[in-house]
Amino acid sequence: MRSFARDEGPHHDRDDFANLTKLLPYVWRYRRRVAFALGCLLLGKFATVCTPLVLKGIIDALDHQAEGVFAENLVLAIPLALLIGYGALRLVSGLFSELRDILFSRVRYSAMHQMAVDVLTHLHGLSLRFHLERNTGGISRDLERGTRSLASVLNLLVFSILPTITEFLLVGGILLYRYDSILMVVILATVMVYVVFTLSMSKWRMSFRHEMNKYDSAANGRAVDSLLNYETVKYFNNEAMEVSNYNEQLKLWGSAGQKTQISLSALNFGQGAIVTVGVTIIMILAAKSVAAGEITIGDLVLINAMMLQLFIPLSILGSVYRSLQYSLADMDLVIKLLEKTPEIVDAKDARDLAVKKGGVKFENVSFQYDNNRQILKEVSFSIDLGQKFAVVGPSGSGKSTLVRLLFRFYDITSGEISIDGQSIADCTQQSLRKAIGIVPQDTVLFNNTIRYNIGYAHPDATEAQIEAAAERADLSTLISRLPEGLDTVVGERGLKLSGGEKQRLAISRVILKAPRIIVFDEATSSLDSRSEQTILSALNAVSENATTLVIAHRLSTIIDADQIIVLDEGRIVETGTHQSLLRSQGLYRKLWDMQQSEAEDQP
């Protein structure tokens, strides 16, 4: 099965600048708040850079005091004022930093919220083909990382990259203005070597992180897949195999993690060595200038403090670069997902389907999933209001495909499907699916209460309507036996209910929805004979004023059908009522005799 998992190789087709521009709509509506946050950032950095200047003044004033240059009262006043100013600047720097965080927090979380909503909305809009091919575990982990990447990119830009650039420009300007240009040359050389080393090492390290993410997604997908197929695992006693496969992926993940840590240590040591060499050269030059009387001890302290101020933010350059690359890679997954075009879209002039009689018509309908797999071949039939129309045939003959085409999960290759003379391709998908109810062969329920699952067909239904639908679907006995009644949680995918109970619940949904067109896709295949007869009476009652299409496996459930068509390899090979088809001695008669024989063999 193809998984929507990240491409762990180089992202040659990734356009980071284009992806960043696509973030702007999520931020633009908070542009004033962003502007205030950036203003706080600039003020905070200005206060931070001014702090060493005040410290220089304090050192020089105290040095002069030691030399007895000033009168005693003046000497005491100057350091006191500078000390107060020093404390005030540090306080202001912290204040503006926190204000920046507060102002930007709403932007960050609102952007994450909106992107998550957009992604889920888009996923629901994608075609059935995409959802049949995706891997639930892999895509859930990728979407989690992708949505968080938006906040990560914004954080890195606003809290790391912009502050570092701002501080570097301010510090560089002060040093270049006040001191010998040789200091700036050494600083620039140190910074350039530092940046080149950090980026090259970080780029090399990213391959290990990509491996970690690949094995992380694979392990998570394996675990989720095994849990979703819990019963199958148990049937074949393959718990140990599933855990072993999961364990192997985690071993690979751990190995890649160790390589990541070793390379991180090498990066940290190299960064520290470059900074140490650079700062040592600068301090030697500054000390010589102090000895020559060109600058004061306060200047020496100022230069040292500014070096620390400059290299402390640069020390996280590697992690910032890595985080930005990872976030951009994660974001690329979501952007590419959002760029996926839904296979089935409404026409520009699509109108709502107006259902009056509920007549359904297939005219020369052909369909293929791909060029090598023709499913239906020129299928034609019509169903009138109140008519019970049945489709039978061997497995793989295309019966369930008719249902998917009627719901327009796929577009037909040729021909036309219409309801009351309106082509479904010209109608909105929402109005089309609102007019049709279905009892599927495999009923998958939400991990919620029985009440929620019945009411899902009609979210505004009253308690009385839900109870009436449950009673008509023969669910009352089950509900009365449960301690929590309608509030009983059915478990993930409805695993706490039997197959028959799940199908009765699905039938109650259709009863509650009361559509004009009803599809039963082998709706009684999980029921015993007694329950089947009980349900059939309920189905007949709810179908009285509706057009009914029955995809049947048990031929005993359609002996009263007004019309039956027999499909074989995508073509209609027989048409008629139950009795006429039995007399024709064709495929239908063979299927009937086979099922009757099986029924007789059962105890």
The whole-number mean pLDDT for each consecutive block of 10 residues of the chain, a chain of 603 residues, reads 39 66 77 79 77 73 55 54 73 78 77 79 76 63 71 78 79 80 83 85 77 82 84 83 88 84 83 85 84 80 78 72 76 78 84 89 89 85 88 87 90 92 92 89 84 88 90 84 87 77 85 88 65 67 80 85 91 92 91 80 55
- Is 69 in the same domain as 202? yes
- Is 446 in the same domain as 425? no
- Is 41 in the same domain as 187? yes
- Is 40 in the same domain as 186? yes
Identify the helix (H) or strand (E) that includes residue 576.
strand 571-576
Please tell me the distance from the alpha carbon of residue 190 to that of residue 183, in angstroms, as a whole number: 11
What is residue 204's predicted lDDT score, i.e. its pLDDT? Answer: 81
Q: If you ran DSSP here, which 8-state letter would residue 341 be given?
A: P
Please tell me the distance from the alpha carbon of residue 600 to that of residue 603, in angstroms, as a whole number: 8
The sheet with strand 388-392 has its strands ordered as 436-439, 517-521, 547-551, 388-392, 563-568, 571-576
Per DSSP, the three-state class of 322 is: helix
- Is 551 in the same domain as 483? no
- Is 409 in the same domain as 474? no
**Which CA distances in Å does 59 have to 117, 283, 395?**
57, 17, 91
Q: Do the domain assignments include residue 401?
A: yes
Please tell me the distance from the alpha carbon of residue 58 to that of residue 89, in angstroms, as a whole number: 14
- Is 196 in the same domain as 238? yes
Count of helix runs (H) and strand runs (E) in the chain: 21, 10
- Is 426 in the same domain as 448? no
Q: Which residues pair with 365 in a beta bridge?
A: 379
The region that residue 397 occupies, defined by phi over 0 for left and psi between -120 and 50 for alpha, beta otherwise, is alpha
CB-based contact 568:377 (threshold 8 Å): no
> Which structural domain range is residue 142 located in?
16-339
Q: Which residues pair with 436 in a beta bridge?
A: 517
CB-based contact 369:375 (threshold 8 Å): yes
Tell me the two tokens of residue 471: 């009673």
Q: Do the domain assignments include residue 327?
A: yes
CB-based contact 60:82 (threshold 8 Å): no
Identify the helix (H) or strand (E) that includes residue 485.
none
What is residue 98's predicted lDDT score, i.e. its pLDDT? Answer: 79
Q: Spell out the residues 6+ positions from residue 302 whose beta carbon is closer than 8 angstroms to its own.
A: 52, 53, 55, 56
279, 311, 339: which is the final residue of a domain? 339
- Is 201 in the same domain as 133? yes
Nearest to 271 by CA among 320, 209, 322, 201: 201
**Which CA distances in Å does 254 have to 201, 247, 257?**
21, 10, 5
Which is it for strands 414-419 and 563-568: parallel, antiparallel or unpaired?
unpaired
Give the chain's end-to-end CA distance (angstroms, integer).
40
CB-based contact 518:543 (threshold 8 Å): yes
Q: Do the domain assignments include residue 296?
A: yes
Q: Do the domain assignments include residue 558?
A: yes
pTM of the model: 0.65
- Is 172 in the same domain as 85? yes
CB-based contact 37:158 (threshold 8 Å): yes
Q: Do the domain assignments include residue 1?
A: no
Sign of CA dihedral 495, 499, 501, 505: positive
- Is 402 in the same domain as 470? no
- Is 301 in the same domain as 428? no
Nearest to 208 by CA among 287, 266, 285: 266
Q: Do the domain assignments include residue 271?
A: yes
Concatenate the DSSP letters of all residues of 43-102 into one string: HHHHHHHHHHHHHHHHHHHHHHHHTT-S-HHHHHHHHHHHHHHHHHHHHHHHHHHHHHHH
Nearest to 396 by CA among 361, 369, 433: 369
Which is it for strands 571-576 and 360-370: parallel, antiparallel or unpaired?
unpaired
Look up the CATH number of the domain holding residue 75: 1.20.1560.10
**Which CA distances in Å does 477 have to 8, 219, 298?**
54, 43, 89
Q: If you ran DSSP here, which 8-state letter would residue 426 be given?
A: G
Identify the helix (H) or strand (E) that includes residue 391.
strand 388-392
Place of tokens 């070597």: 193
Please tell me the distance from the alpha carbon of residue 373 to that of residue 393, in angstroms, as a whole number: 18
Q: Do the domain assignments include residue 348?
A: no
CB-based contact 217:7 (threshold 8 Å): no
Residue 421 backbone dihedrals phi, psi, to 5 degrees: 80, 0
Nearest to 567 by CA among 403, 409, 377, 406: 377
Look up the CATH number of the domain holding residue 430: 3.40.50.300
Task: Say if residue 586 is exposed, middle or buried (CB neighbours under 10 Å; 0-12, 13-18, 19+).
Answer: middle
CB-based contact 126:279 (threshold 8 Å): no
The number of domains in the chain is 3
Q: Do the domain assignments include residue 537?
A: no
Per DSSP, the three-state class of 520 is: strand
Rg (CA), the chain: 36
